């Protein structure tokens, strides 16, 4: 069995490597790019509509709340991922060629395959952009949902439910429907996002604009609690949540291997290429 720990904790996986472009255009469950386009269109239209509603119904301090930062991150992710899949539809003749599919993997041994991404399949800047934003949007949505329902005084308004619960539901659906891998070392992007917001809250306090964005984030009366919350969320919370998402990603792969990939195994080179960058599983 391949040592997934050794594989995942390679320095190169801080970056965006070992993934062909095709995985940004298709779902885990089929190679139909039109299906992925429809999924992304639904997510974008639904979330953008609620983004407008949340802005219209908010006060002038919309921009200071972590929830709303999360809402905007999801808007950016759904918008750019829809644009990238649209690009995939327009260029599908290039990335669906049998030659590139066949050459996408190099068999090292019976139990291990390592992806060899061709020059024409290497990721462009917009693939990297949505890969990073998927990580931040997914982890961030889960963190915001947990913080809201455990540390604050939640209400059941439609806007609140959408921005503090449905956000996580949509990102989990996106996780299970898309075909982008989760790299455990990418937790660093969520940690950076948390650190930026923490510094932002300190700046608001230092300038006297707002000393308590939330009751649990009050730099004037509870600086120790606020600092502990920010440091804990940045250094520990982001990693723990990302590990959970990494586990769900592997659960997605496990389901696929028992269903659609099992049916296709040995029949096409596409299946081999899809499995190649996930050597955490023992090959049958």
Q: What are the residue ranges spanned by the domains of the chain?
A: 4-276
More confident residue, 274 or 193: 193
| DSSP3 helix / strand / coil % (the chain, rounded to 5) | 70, 5, 25
Task: Give residue 177's pLDDT band: very low, low, confident or very high (50, 70, 90).
Answer: very high
pLDDT digits over 233-280, tens only? 999 999 999 999 999 999 999 999 999 877 655 444 444 444 444 444
More confident residue, 35 or 107: 35
Flag whether pLDDT at 1 surpasses 90.
Answer: no
| Single pTM value for the model | 0.85
- Say which DSSP state 152 is in: S
pLDDT digits over 40-99, tens only? 999 999 999 999 999 999 988 999 999 999 999 999 999 999 999 999 999 988 877 644
What whole-number distance in Å separates Cα of residue 16 and Cα of residue 64? 31
Of 163, 165, 227, 164, the closest CA to residue 195 belongs to 227
- Arithmetic mean of pLDDT over the chain: 85
């Amino acid at each position: 069995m391949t040592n997934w720990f050794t594989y995942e904790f390679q320095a190169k996986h801080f970056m965006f490597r070992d993934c062909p472009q095709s995985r940004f255009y298709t779902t885990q469950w089929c190679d139909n790019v039109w299906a992925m386009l429809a999924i992304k269109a639904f997510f974008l239209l639904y979330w953008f509509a609620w983004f407008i509603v949340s802005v219209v119904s908010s006060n002038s301090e919309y921009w200071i709340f972590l929830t709303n930062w999360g809402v905007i991150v999801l808007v950016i992710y759904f918008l750019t991922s829809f644009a990238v899949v649209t690009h995939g539809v327009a260029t599908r003749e290039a990335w669906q060629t049998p030659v590139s599919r066949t050459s996408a993997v190099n068999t090292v041994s019976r139990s291990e395959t390592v992806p060899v991404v061709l020059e024409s399949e290497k990721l462009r800047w917009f693939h990297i952009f949505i890969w990073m934003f998927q990580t931040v949007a997914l982890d961030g949505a889960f963190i915001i949902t947990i913080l809201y329902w455990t540390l604050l005084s939640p209400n059941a308004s439609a806007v609140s439910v959408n921005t503090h619960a449905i956000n996580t539901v949509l990102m989990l659906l996106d996780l299970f429907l898309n075909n982008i891998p989760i790299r455990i070392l990418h937790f660093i992007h969520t940690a950076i996002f948390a650190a930026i917001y923490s510094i932002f809250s300190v700046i608001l306090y230092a300038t006297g604009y707002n000393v308590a964005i939330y009751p649990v984030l009050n730099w004037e009366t509870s600086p120790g609690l606020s600092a502990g919350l920010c440091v804990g969320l940045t250094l520990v919370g982001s990693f723990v949540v990302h590990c959970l998402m990494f586990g769900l990603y592997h659960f997605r792969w496990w389901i696929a291997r028992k269903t659609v990939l099992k049916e296709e195994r040995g029949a096409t080179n596409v299946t081999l290429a899809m499995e190649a960058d996930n050597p955490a599983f023992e090959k049958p």
